[in-house]
Amino acid sequence: MGLRPNLLTRRTAGVASTTLALLLSTAAVGVVPAASAFSAAPSGSCAEPADVHSDARVKKGGHAKLDPNALTAKQVRERDADLTAALRERANFRAGAGATPLATVTIPVVVHVIQRDSTRAGGNIPDSMVTQQIAVLNTAYSGGTGGAATAFSFQLTKVHHVTNAAWYPIVEGSSAERSMKTSLREGGKNMLNIYLGELSDDLLGWATFPQRKLNSMDGVVVLSESLPGGTATNYNQGDTGTHEIGHWLNLYHTFQGGCSGSGDSVSDTPAEASPAYECPTGRDTCTGTGKDPITNFMDYTYDSCMYQFTAGQASRMLTAWNAYRAA
């Protein structure tokens, strides 16, 4: 199984390579903005990206009819320009209110278990799997499996079981998905809503990026059997949730943009030409410095292979939180 034994040891031993103190600046340390990010919003205002784009995690061989797996270069430029404008707006607001940016964040979480019926085969997973998923998130985002500690922790506030065959399976981009989220979503921009169930098109999950105005589609969708103890072989240690919440906190895939341009807009993740699957030790698809970041949570490798965020990713997430989701 290649790296699996060593990586599993790191996941349980918890070796963090950086400290939270390094991540608390509100500047986008380690972030490489698109070339037009600052010039696109010189006056501090910028039209919010028109799409509510979602980013998915896909099994090897999987596909999505609408291919929600990557952004275009134009979408990246729009998102990074919007982040710049949002940061300027929030800085002006905080200056007037005498408030300071958040340095640590506890995210309240509501989990909606979407099921066809009351059976496990019909989506009715036990609440214990949800509790274990929250534990995985807290370990991953604290740097407990290796890599950088981030500013984030997660607190489960509610598990909501919903029996509705019309929403099962959850189909990405469908009117049924919109109906489900419009009916069920709770809280403000700082509330993480997770929707669990069987998913369409062999997808493991998808998520929305943050926006300045709360949209009813905001949240994360995850294959229920990808939770710890689930039946999704090689993807059942809970890291689909880790990956999708990374998108919800404004991270791109490590392979975004391939080998050229600003890539994933983070300077300390080596460029990667395409998604990595399974655990291809030593893979190196770009000529730049560093081998492919196959152990990064924002790639597509097996759960047993991925175990870390970088300091630049941690900083980007905190910057985006203070721009978009902070109260």
User: How does pLDDT run across 4-17, given as a tens digit for each residue?
Assistant: 333 343 343 332 22
Percent of the chain with pLDDT over 70: 78
Q: How far apart are CA 272 and CA 38, in angstroms?
A: 25
pLDDT band at 249 (very low <50, low <70, confident <90, very high): very high
Residue 182's CB: how many other CB atoms inside 10 A? 11
Amino acid identity, position 154: F
**Run of H or E residues at 207:** strand 203-208
Going by their DSSP bridges, the two strands 220-223 and 203-208 should be labelled as: antiparallel
How would residue 211 be classed by pLDDT, with cut points 50, 70 and 90? very high
| Cα–Cα distance list, 197 to 115, 117, 147, 156, 310 (Å) | 6, 11, 30, 18, 30
| Interval 72-76 mean pLDDT | 88
Q: What is the model's pTM? A: 0.82
Residue 324, both tokens = 């978009």
- Residue 154 token pair: 């997660």
Tokens of 207: 């998520």
Distance CA 58, CA 165 (A): 24
Cα(160)–Cα(130) distance, integer angstroms: 11
Q: Which residues contact 146 (CB under 8 A, 6 or more apart)?
A: 10, 11, 14, 15, 16, 17, 295, 307, 308
Q: Name the residue with tokens 């203070």.
A: 322
Q: How confident is the model at residue 30 (pLDDT cuts 50, 70, 90)?
A: very low
Structure tokens that stand for 52 in this block: 């509510």
Residues 223/113, Cβ–Cβ less than 8 Å: no
Asked about 244 being catalytic, the answer comes back as: yes
Question: Cα separation of 213 and 215, whole Å?
Answer: 6
User: Coil, strand or helix: which one is 210?
Assistant: coil
Please report how many Cα atoms fall inside a 13 Å half-sphere around the Cα of residue 79, on the Cβ side: 27
Q: What is the DSSP letter of 142?
A: T
Distance CA 177, CA 200 (A): 11
| Annotated catalytic residue within 78, 172, 177, 244 | 244
Determine the Cα–Cα distance for residues 234 and 59; give it in Å rounded to an integer.
10
| pLDDT beyond 60 at 43 | no
Name the pLDDT band for 31 (thresholds 50, 70, 90): very low
Whose tokens are 């978009």? That residue is: 324
Residue appearing with tokens 């919010």? 48
The confidence band for 261, taking pLDDT boundaries of 50, 70 and 90, is: confident
Identify whether the C-beta of residue 323 lies closer than 8 Å to the C-beta of residue 87: yes
Share of the chain above pLDDT 90, in %: 68
Q: What value, to the nearest 5°, has the Cα angle with vertex 17 and ends 12 and 18?
A: 125
